[in-house]
Structure 1
């Protein structure tokens, strides 16, 4: 594929921090690259270097002639006086954009349709729009323009589950062409798995490059650290635990080629399950009794709008529930009703006598009172020691688990970033030893490493948990059950998880009911659908043939894995021979392309074989 951007030995320092240290990498046509790393580690700076808006102190950046680059930044540059139509469609005539299925797909997927109801219509002025609405408009404008190189900084912020699903499909579908490239910074691990064919990890000035999305990244990172003899025991254990969950998780996540399963199993042979549900349930019942929080024959309203009508919800000890729904369906209001902060229009709220409830809202201003105090003082103000499951942690140890290293614990609260303030909120909540935890979008502003640490803490937390999140990975990881607000006044159980939610939303919208904010779910296949399902499934002969294909492909993949290992070894041995490394890298890319084609063939056969 043609090179779009190449970076050679680029170095860049911000103050005393070396953000990039002799980094060499490139983006070619057909690449879809996810960028991960700690907050403040240099991801956005790397994106700016690729975009040409930041020049490195040393090194060289080359771009192909006439390259059209589109960038989505954290702060949009939209003209406040322009209309949504002008911002997204520019000077395109109505017959031109209305007749273009690609443009219509963007308008429907991000803005709610040709009249853009999500942002108040195409004639709405940009200035009064909310931050989330402006971000949708900026992203829609980029996708309509369809640049050669698309650079996105946290594009899933302010998108609900349906919006994220639509964006993932668009970027890996109609946008993904041999002449276009994508680089996306994201902390959304489901989105990363759905979109990325490569993952870059920015760490300590270096950029480590891995083939595949998040699941492949976790496996490769764990293997790299094992081979390097890394002694950071806690981090290694977290990676192994994450691998164990990826291997044992939902069926959709485990339908991987056998050689990858074998590689993961070699690393997690003795790893226990992510959490012991039976033991945690016993602890939770001891701490909570049988009554937790009940909403009985309840009616929940906002102004004149009825969110939920005559519903009953009994939260039990040890329940781990995820709440999903379109933006505006009432998820946060329902959490506030559970917490007793939002009144019921009708019905009754009952709370068990032993309940100790903690509520993480999306508001971080509660920390303003601590602006002039140190982080560790804000944590120790709650208490000095906390018990999580069978473990006892000091305030400093818990802060460390959530990313506040020793020096950072001495930082003034007023100097913290948005993500750090969010982490401090969580730390203070957990220090209070609640037995009922309500979390409203806990992943906002958190990097993947912090998310993994949070999930590790919640694995050993014995209590009742309710989470509102658009992060599908988090919902699958920490919750055992999902409920949906579909925008039709009811609260519904989702035995099939988020996939069932997307299917139900599509059906509801097609019938003309519910709030159609982001109707991208129409392109998501029903959970469990497989080739032949409509006509009774594959025949026995087709199943036998599919199994033969799987066996053949597995042998080919095994040989490719050996060849890939040899190439990696040769590249390490020739590290100082630039021309030799480039040649080996080209050969490696051919192997990777062949492997991906074989994996797709294996997955298609596996769908038939069952």
Structure 2
């Protein structure tokens, strides 16, 4: 494949920070590259260098003659006075773009919910759009223009689950030709796995390349760190021997050959600096009683819209629920209703006497009053000392583990980046020891390293957890069940997870969506069942007739057969994981095994759906 853009020994310093340090890389035709790294680590700067928007201090950036480059930045550059038609389609005649299936796909996938051509939405002005809508317009314009090299900075921001799935499919389908390529900065690990054939990690001024998407990147990085640890252990052993030899008595120390002292000093200098890992600690939670929070026949309205329509939902102790839905369907409103922050138009809200709620909003408004406070002051306002692992830990120590080293603890809260503000508020919430956590898009502005640490905490957290997120990876990791808001005022349970939601959105007609059953079980469910999951009322109009004894026997046979097949798939999957670990340095073999692993995942999804259909037959 032709090299469309090449970077050779590029170095760039911004202020006192060396953002790029002798970086060499290339973007070739057919490349689908994902870029990961810590916030502030230089990902956006690298993209600007590749685009030619930012010069380098030394080195060279070359572009194949005639190759066009399009960039999606995080800033809004659209003309507010332009119409959507002008902003997205430019001067293209209607018969030109309407006859191009690729352009129609972009308009349907990105603008169908905002500016459907059927209702003349293309003639509305950009000025009337929200920030998220303008972001989608900018992305649509770039995909319509179809440059040779597409550079995307966080393209999944402001996209819901459906939008992310559509964008991944579009990029893979339309950007895999030998004459084009794309590079995408993303913190969405599902998206990264879906689109990337290569992953770049930007860290400490270097760009490390890995074959494959997120799964292959994590595996290869773990193997590199394992090998580095072996090397470090050997170096440390040699270091200890050298220092012990040098410390053997004052007379002996003065007679040591100089080269031995120089060798020991070289070992000391070669010791790597402590890594500033972002860690979140598991905090003790107050004990919950049997009753947590109940919404009883609750209705919530916004103007003339009914966001929640006579919803009954019993939250159980220890329930872990992920919430997905179309933008504007009322996900954030549902969390606020559960938290008691907005009034109900009708119905009741009941809260247990032992409940302590922690609510993370999208805007992190709670930190506004602390703009002039230092980071350490914002943490100590909640608690100066807490007990972790049987030991007292100071607020300063916790802030350091969260990614705020000494100097950053003295920074004003108002000067923090979006990702740092979110980390700070998560820490403050957890230090307050809530037993009900309501998280509204907790992954916004967080890098993958922080996301992994956050998931590690939530994975073992012992309270009731509700998470609104478009991050499929997070939902599948921390939630035991998913529910969907479809914009009809109801909540629907998703036994098949996010994949079932996407199928539902793709196949269910709007009239059926309005009549869709609410999630969970009826309000008369037993306490033992309420301990396992939250329950919501199911409309009796959709009750299915009882299956015959013969149908029930057939269903049990199907379930038994599927369970055996799932067990075999689990064994195969375990063997593949072992083989991937064994051949971690053989990228071609890892990719082959990863493809086989994806086949197993697809097969398992089909079997799980078959099992669920059989289980539905046995439901009373």
- TM-score bracket, shorter-length normalisation: 0.7 to 0.9
Match of residue 26 from structure 2? 26
Contact kept? 1:119, 1:129, Cα under 8 Å: no
Q: Which residue of 1 aligns with 2:49?
A: 49
The alignment partner of 2:77 has SS state of: coil
Would the alpha carbon gap of residues 317 and 401 (structure 1) be closer, same or farther in structure 2, given more than 3 Å must change? farther
Q: Is residue 411 from structure 1 mapped to residue 426 from structure 2 by the alignment?
A: no
**1:125-274 counterparts in 2 under 5 A?**
125-229=125-229
Work out the CA distance in 1 between the residues paired with 2:440 and 2:231.
36
Per the alignment, residue 302 of structure 2 pairs with 302
Contact (CA 8 Å) 1:484, 1:501: kept in 2 or not? yes
Deviates more, 1:458-467 or 1:365-374: 365-374
1:467 equivalent in structure 2 = 467
SS in 2 for 1:97: helix
Check the 8 A contact 2:297/2:347 in 1, yes or no: yes
Residues 151, 113 of structure 1: CA spacing in aligned structure 2 closer, same or farther, 3 A cutoff?
Answer: same
8 Å contact 1:80–1:127 — kept in the other structure? Answer: yes
Residue of structure 1 equivalent to 2:287: 287
Please say if residues 459 and 477 of structure 2, whose CA atoms lie closer than 8 Å, have aligned partners that are also in contact.
no
Deviates further, 418-427 or 382-391: 382-391
What is the alpha-carbon distance in structure 1 between the residues aligned to residue 169 and residue 111 of structure 2? 16
Cα distance change of structure 1 residues 460 and 398 upon mapping to structure 2, 3 Å threshold: farther
* Separation (CA, whole Å) in 2 of partners of 1:117 and 1:404: 48
3-state DSSP of counterpart to 1:127: helix
Go from structure 1 to structure 2 and tell me whether the alpha carbon gap of 1:355 and 1:513 turns closer, same or farther (over 3 Å shift).
Answer: closer
Q: TM-score, normalised by structure 1?
A: 0.76
Partner of 2:107: 107
Q: C-alpha displacement at 1:178, in angstroms?
A: 1.8
Deviations 1:430-466 (Å, cap 9, x if unpaired)? 1111111111111111111111111122233221111
TM-superposed CA distance for 1:601, in Å, is 6.7
- Pick closer, same or farther for the CA change 1:392–1:461 going to 2, 3 Å: farther
Q: CA deviation at 1:508?
A: 2.6
SS at match of 1:33: strand
Contact 2:12 2:57 in 1 (8 A): yes
**Which ranges of structure 2 fall in alignment gaps of 5 or more residues?**
234-281, 516-557, 559-564, 608-620
Aligned equivalent of 1:94: 94
Trace 1:354-503 onto structure 2 (pairs within 5 A): 354-386=354-386, 393-503=393-503
Query: CA separation in 1, counterparts of 2:204 and 2:383?
Result: 34
1:506: which partner in 2? 506
Q: Residue 229 of structure 1: SS of its match in structure 2? A: helix
Is 1:116 aligned to residue 123 of structure 2?
Answer: no
Deviation at 1:370, TM superposition (A): 2.1
C-alpha contact 1:112 1:118 (8 A) present in aligned 2:
no
1-structure distance, mates of 2:390, 2:350:
29
Contact 2:337 2:343 in 1 (8 A): yes
* Matches of 2:408 and 2:291, distance apart in 1: 40
Residue by residue over 1:129-166, the C-alpha shift from the partner in whole angstroms, topping out at 9 and shown as x without a partner, is 11111110000001011111000000111111111111
1:388–1:461 Cα contact (<8 Å) kept: no
CA distance in 2, matches of 1:90, 1:294: 52
Shift in Å, 1:406: 2.7
Residue number in structure 1 paired with 2:550: none
Contact 2:216 2:590 in 1 (8 A): no
Q: How far off is 1:302 after superposition?
A: 1.3
Q: How far apart in 1 are the matches of 2:231 and 2:299? A: 55
Cα distance, 1:176–1:425 mapped onto 2, change above 3 Å: same
**More moved, 491-500 vs 362-371:** 362-371
Is the alpha carbon distance of 1:160 and 1:392 closer, same or farther for their aligned partners in structure 2, counting shifts above 3 Å?
Answer: farther
1:418, CA displacement in angstroms? 1.5
User: How many Å apart are 1:400 and its aligned residue?
Assistant: 2.9
1:230–1:7: structure 2 CA closer, same or farther, 3 Å change rule? farther
User: What residue in structure 2 maps to residue 13 of structure 1?
Assistant: 13
**C-alpha root-mean-square deviation of aligned residues, in Å?**
3.3
Contact 1:389 1:462 in 2 (8 A): no
Would you say how many aligned residue pairs link Structure 1 and Structure 2?
Answer: 504
Q: Classify 1:436/1:106 alpha carbon distance in 2 versus 1 (closer, same or farther; 3 Å).
A: same
Deviations 1:276-306 (A, max 9, x none): xxx99xx97x701111111011112211111
- Distance in 1 between residues matched to 2:152 and 2:484, nearest whole Å: 29
Provide the rounded CA distance (Å) in 2 between the counterparts of 1:315 and 1:28: 52
**Cα pair distance change 1:197/1:314, threshold 3 Å:** same
Per-residue deviation at 1:350?
0.4
Alpha-carbon offset, residue 512 of structure 1: 7.5
Please state how far the C-alpha of 1:117 moved relative to its aligned partner. Answer: 7.2
Contact 1:154/1:186 (CA < 8 Å) preserved in 2? yes
| Per-residue CA distance 1:505-537 (angstroms, 9 max, x = gap) | 22234757569xxxxxxxxxxxxxxxxxxxx9x
- Taking structure 2 as the reference length, the TM-score comes to 0.75
Distance 1:514 1:114 in 2: 20
- Which piece of structure 1 moves more, 600-609 or 351-360? 600-609
